[in-house]
Each structure stands twice: as C-alpha cells, then as structure tokens.
Amino acid sequence: MKRTLALLLAALLLVTFALTGCSAQKTNLKLATGSATGTYYAYGAAFTQVLSANIQGLTFDVQSTGASKANIYNLADGEVDMGIVQNDVADYAYRGVDLFDGEQITDFVAIAGMYAEVCQVVGTPNMTSIADLKGKRVSVGDIGSGTEFNAKQILSAYGISFDDITVHNLSFGDSATAFKDGKIDAFFCTAGAPTTAIVELATTNALNILAVDDEHAAKLIADYPFYTQFAIPRGSYKGVDADVMTVAVKATLVCKKSLSDDLVYKITKALFEKKADITTAHPKGAELDAAYAVAGISIDFHPGAAKYFKEVGAMK
C-alpha cells in the first residue's frame, strides 16, 4: 500500500514536472520607451502588462529613454528587444537622412503603428504664431528624441533654423518645469495628446498651443510625407478653448529582427485582440486598429506581425 502510494506520488510529481516544464519557457523582453513624463512610457507599461497577462511566460522590462532616435540606436546595439519610435524617424534611420546624418540603421523592424503623436508647440500667451519663436529660448525635445526632428522641420517650414533660436534639449517634464520657471519661452512636444506634462502645466500657467497653419502644413507635408494634419480638440488643455490645427506622426512598435516569428505573431495578435483591456489600462489603446497600424509605415514589418495583418486582411 505504502509502495503504491509512493509510486503514485512519484508519477504525479513527474506529470507536474512535465507539464510545468513545457510551459515554463520564460521570455523577458526589454522595451525602450521615452521619458517618464511622456506617453510612450505610460502606454508601454500599460500594453505590456496586458500582453504579459495573455501570453504565457512573457514578461517585460519597460525602460525610460531619450525616445525615438535613442531607441533605434538601443535596438541596433542589441541593448533592448523592442521599442516605440515615431514612424517618420524610423524611415529616416533606414535611409540615414536628416539627424541620422548619413548613418543608415536598418537593423530593426515594425510590429505595428499604434496611435497618433501630435506635434505640439507650447508658447507663452503673448505668442500667436510659430514665426514668433525666432530669437527665443526653445526646448526642441530631449537628446535622442524624435521631437527634435519635428522641431527642426516645423521651424524650417517657417523659415527658422536652430541657429535662430537658443536651443534647449529637455524632456517634456523638464520643458514644463523650465517654462514654469521662465527659463524657456516655448517647447516642442511630439506625443499622444492630451500629454500629461502639458495638462499639468496648463493648470498652473497660462500658455498658448501654436498652430501649424494650412499653408505651412502643406509645405511641410510636401517635403516630409509622414506628417498628416491633425486638430487638437478644444478643451484638451485648460485655457485652450478652440481647436488648434497642427500635424501628427505615428507611434510605432518596433523590435529587433531576431525575435521569433511565433512570439511576434502572438504579441501582435494579443495587441489587437485585447484592445479593450489595453484601453482600460491607458486611453491610447482606443486608437488600436489593424488598418491604421500598417498605414504610413515605410520600414519592413516583422514576418510574425505581417502574418497577423494578412490574416485579418489589413495587409496583402
């Protein structure tokens, strides 16, 4: 009797071991986001939490970084497995143009475009146009950010170069603090809107969101086709009582090429199928859409992501 029990126990242990052994495959992915006060970081934490809950053995390490350009370098250097980057900056990296200065970086691929990132220019209340930034102290985004590309291009559409302003390289949170302290006159912020750093600033300080008007938007889009026109809805920030026309790009989830097709397929599928849970965790989840995810992305897609988009008819 004792022997039978012992055998039974041993068998049970073996079965348990075999079962957990099969599912115990653990993968931890490092995700590069942006500054702690941006949308990448908060959204990154939100959607990875939902992915982890739905894909067995998958965990994430969400890292704060300088954002788009820094994330592309981090991926190329193998320091991270995934990142969030602007679709325009991903294109410039593949081609080695603009602030990549001839250095082509193609060692990363797209998983999905996720939500609109709005090019917001915050100025003092007496400013009415981007043209007013000439000669002013302006934060053009963090070192390694995508925001800096947008600042350069938008200013240039208004005939202003970085030589015509006093350039500050600050994160969104530091830009808001510097603005509050009167150390800068304006700052650029390319991020999902409403952006927390601006929401908080607007509760204590009067500010103006400066428009990229139709004429300048047309010029910008002719030179840089990744921009689309975008209206920041009135009421997005305290004191902003009318819609503000500007331009937007797209927050894009990218990864290194070497991630397995199976893993990336599962991640892509869960991202769209668990949209409701992601939206509960962060409002930007509401913008998840398979057709939007593949539009305006010029870089290669990971085969695992492409498999999902083909299945749902978003990709040929």
Min dist. Cβ of residue 233 to ligand GLU (A): 18
> Residue 305 belongs to what H/E stretch?
helix 303-311
Min dist. Cβ of residue 141 to ligand GLU (A): 5
Q: Tell me the helix, strand and coil percentages in the chain, rounded to 5.
A: 45, 20, 35
Min dist. Cβ of residue 147 to ligand GLU (A): 4
Q: Residue 109 or 191: which CB sits closer to ligand GLU? A: 191
- Other beta carbons within 10 angstroms of residue 2's beta carbon come to 6
Q: Residue 146 or 304: which CB sits closer to ligand GLU? A: 146
Determine how β-strand 244-255 pairs with β-strand 228-232: antiparallel
User: Which range, of 35-43, 226-234, 265-273, 304-312, touches ligand GLU by CB under 6 A?
Assistant: 35-43
In degrees rounded to 5, what are phi and psi of residue 43? Answer: -70, -40
Smallest Cα–Cα separation from 275: which of 286, 264, 263?
286
What's the one-letter identity of residue 275?
A: K
Q: Residue 191 or 314: which CB sits closer to ligand GLU? A: 191
Min dist. Cβ of residue 190 to ligand GLU (A): 4
- Other beta carbons within 10 angstroms of residue 23's beta carbon come to 9
User: Which range, of 129-137, 139-147, 235-243, 254-262, touches ligand GLU by CB under 6 A?
Assistant: 139-147
Contact, 187 vs 175, CB < 8 A? yes
User: Which range, of 106-114, 144-152, 272-280, 298-306, touches ligand GLU by CB under 6 A?
Assistant: 144-152
Asked if the bond preceding 303 is cis, omega within 30° of 0, the reply is: no
Q: Residue 170 or 202: which CB sits closer to ligand GLU? A: 170
Q: Which of residues 53-112 bind ligand GLU (CB under 6 A)?
A: 67-68, 86
Q: Which of residues 184-223 bind ligand GLU (CB under 6 A)?
A: 190-191
Cα 119 to Cα 121: distance, rounded to the nearest angstrom: 7
Which of 83, 123, 141, 285 binds ligand GLU (CB under 6 A)? It is: 141
> Which residue matches tokens 């991630």?
259
Residues that bind ligand GLU (CB under 6 A): 34-35, 38-40, 67-68, 86, 117, 141, 145-147, 190-191
